[in-house]
A = this chain, B = another copy of it.
Amino acid sequence: MSDNNSNAAALIALDWGTSSLRAFLLAADGAVLEQRHRPWGISSLPEGGYPAAFLQIAADWPIRDVPLIASGMVGSRAGWKQIEYRALPADPSGLADALDSVLCPLPDGGEIAVRLVPGLLDPAGPDVMRGEETEAIGALDALGHPPGPLLLVMPGTHSKWLRVSGGVVEGFSTFMTGELFALLNTRSILASGAEPAPGTATDTVFAEAVREAAETGLAAALFRTRARMLTGALDPACTAAHLSGLLIGEELTAALRTVPQSHSSSRIVLVGDPALTARYRDAFAALGRKAPEHLQAAALRGLYRIAVSAGLAG
């Protein structure tokens, strides 16, 4: 792109999930001119709902003059407008073709369109995602569009394992690891409430639990946590690390066991929050497997890439 527009606003991108809203003002080449973050996820909107949240976070940005694009739960049933899932296979151009718009009313009586990225449906599961498709596009872009088979692993409340070939998402599976951890660690008989003191050997406990889940299976291993707490074999301060190891161990084992032949020995890339991807790398290592590569969450890059495919930017 030419120098004379490199600092001109060309796109507003919104990463709008369940618990937070991130907004980015981008130049035509994708450079971030300004970014803002508010706790206005779709479950915690300010008064005035979606339009108010958008108009406040984008205050003094040129919202009438540049395209607007958003991804995440904002397109769900409880979102600003429900956008149908797009069935696999999916790549940036497919997602760009499937953008839908919601109209945001303006104080002066006008309206502007916000393009929403659809979630993905894998009919084979069935399985669904909303938001991770955009992160996947961003991750593939960051990786330089590798042509070979690839597993993108996105740990989280609902961990996603995406099978990708030639830049196309061919299938995916979801594991409720983060949600199960939160339920078990706070609301079940395994909740201890104890925090580990500095220096507590939580890493060892975690690695052993990963192996126990792989060897025994989560169902048979879970209540042993309680038995070990009662018999003094597990420090209550290590319960969270133990549960985390059991659940991540189960996820890895199940995901690697059920992955189709096409991806059984493919490159694995972890995408997400560094602390969480580090945990997953530790879990791979505990199972004697090579620790996968890892990337930071890439929603912004994905939003930009889809906008370029849709002719909205670039």
Contact = CB atoms under 8 A, between A and B. Distances in A.
A227 B128 contact: yes
B258 A222 contact: no
B187 A217 contact: no
A224 B258 contact: no
Nearest to A175: B219
A173 B230 contact: no
A251 interface: yes
Interface stretch (A9-17, A57-65, A93-101, A119-127): A119-127
A251 B176 CA distance: 18
Contacts of A217: 254, 257-258
A307 B241 CA distance: 43
Contacts of A126: 224, 227-228, 231, 233
Interface residues of A, number: 38
Contacts of A187: 183, 187
Contacts of A188: 176, 179, 183
Oligomeric state, in copies: 2
B226 A128 contact: yes
A90 interface: no
A230 B183 CA distance: 22
A46 B46 CA distance: 45
A72 to B, nearest CB: 15
A224 B108 CA distance: 45
Interface string A190-230: 00000000000000000000000000111110111011101
A55 interface: no
Nearest to A158: B223
Contacts of A251: 219
A224 B125 contact: yes
A255 interface: yes
A134 interface: no
A231 B187 CA distance: 29
Contacts of A125: 224, 227
A143 interface: no
A176 B121 contact: no
A287 to B, nearest CB: 15
A172 to B, nearest CB: 10
A306 B128 CA distance: 54
B254 A223 contact: no
Interface in A160-186: 173-176, 179, 183-184
User: Closest 7 A-B residue pairs measured CB to CB?
Assistant: A174-B223, A219-B254, A126-B227, A128-B227, A183-B183, A127-B227, A220-B254
